[in-house]
Amino acid sequence: MKWRIVNEGEYSEAMHHAIDEVLTKRLNNGDMQPTLRFWYRPHTSIPMGRFQAYHDEVQDDYIKENDIEVVRRITGGGAMFSEPDNVITYSIYIPKEQVNENIEKSYQELDNFAVKKLNELGVNVSYKPLNDIEHQDGKIGGAAQTRKENAVLHHTMMSYDLNTRRMLKALRIGKKKVSDKAISSAEKRVSRISDHIDHEREEVIEELIQSFVEDKKWEKGSLTSEELEEAEILAKKKFSTDEWNKKL
């Protein structure tokens, strides 16, 4: 079956996670073709891991002052900081039969198109198990998965040009009080695509798409109105609520 490549659509953080849940469910039920979708966001936001507690991961005062949208994912993993135009995020909705049963290998295999392309462009990254994309200067991105009976959701976020200082103000990075020294050492561990190449973000995304479709039948596509309507309802009743986002 042809892959659908969706490279459009600017949505709130909550809506993106609702789309992820809806599309994964539809693929699982056999109601959707395999899909690669790139994310665009209008505001600063933090997607955090499903098993993380809100107050452990974010600086609540800074979040409120700066109107940052925090959403708990349906996947595990850690909290990430996202600013419009400064990250590259994609979701892969893929039939489970096409995914390696070995979870560690499946992470590397599903992000391999991106790791390979980034290296070709001049960003020397490699995969660091379980789910990190690393440059020798620091972490550039991370991935997370969840598995259904017939479908796997694999989403990945990479820093294109993130502001590390703002990130460290918004995230708690697992410390009660982050000292100045801790900030500088954490900062060293982060790297960005724009630190290494001059390509515009859109160009990098186009290159990633070319790399992804190299060995596949594919077509450009959009989300259907049914998919979007279902996701809008879910965004409202789940991913925008404290009941979900601050449950833990």
CB 123 within 8 A of CB 193: yes
Please select the residue that binds another protein; options are 78, 95, 138, 221, rule is CB under 8 A: 78
Burial (CB count within 10 angstroms: exposed 0-12, middle 13-18, buried 19+), residue 136 = exposed
Q: Give the end-to-end CA distance of the chain in Å, rounded to a whole number.
A: 39
Between 79 and 158, name the residue whose CB sits nearer to another protein: 79
Site string for another protein, 177-216 (x = CB under 8 A): ----------------------------------------
Between 90 and 107, name the residue whose CB sits nearer to another protein: 107
Site string for another protein, 134-173 (x = CB under 8 A): ----------xxxx--------------------------
Paired tokens of 247: 């449950």
CA distance 62 to 147: 34
Amino acid identity at 2 = K
Query: Residue 49 interacts with another protein (CB under 8 A)?
Result: yes
CA distance 171 to 25: 30
Query: Residue 95 interacts with another protein (CB under 8 A)?
Result: no
Between 78 and 138, name the residue whose CB sits nearer to another protein: 78
Amino acid identity at 231 = A
Three-class DSSP category at 117: helix
Between 75 and 211, name the residue whose CB sits nearer to another protein: 75
Q: Which residues lie near another protein (CB under 8 A)?
A: 49-53, 56, 74-79, 103, 129-131, 144-147, 174, 248
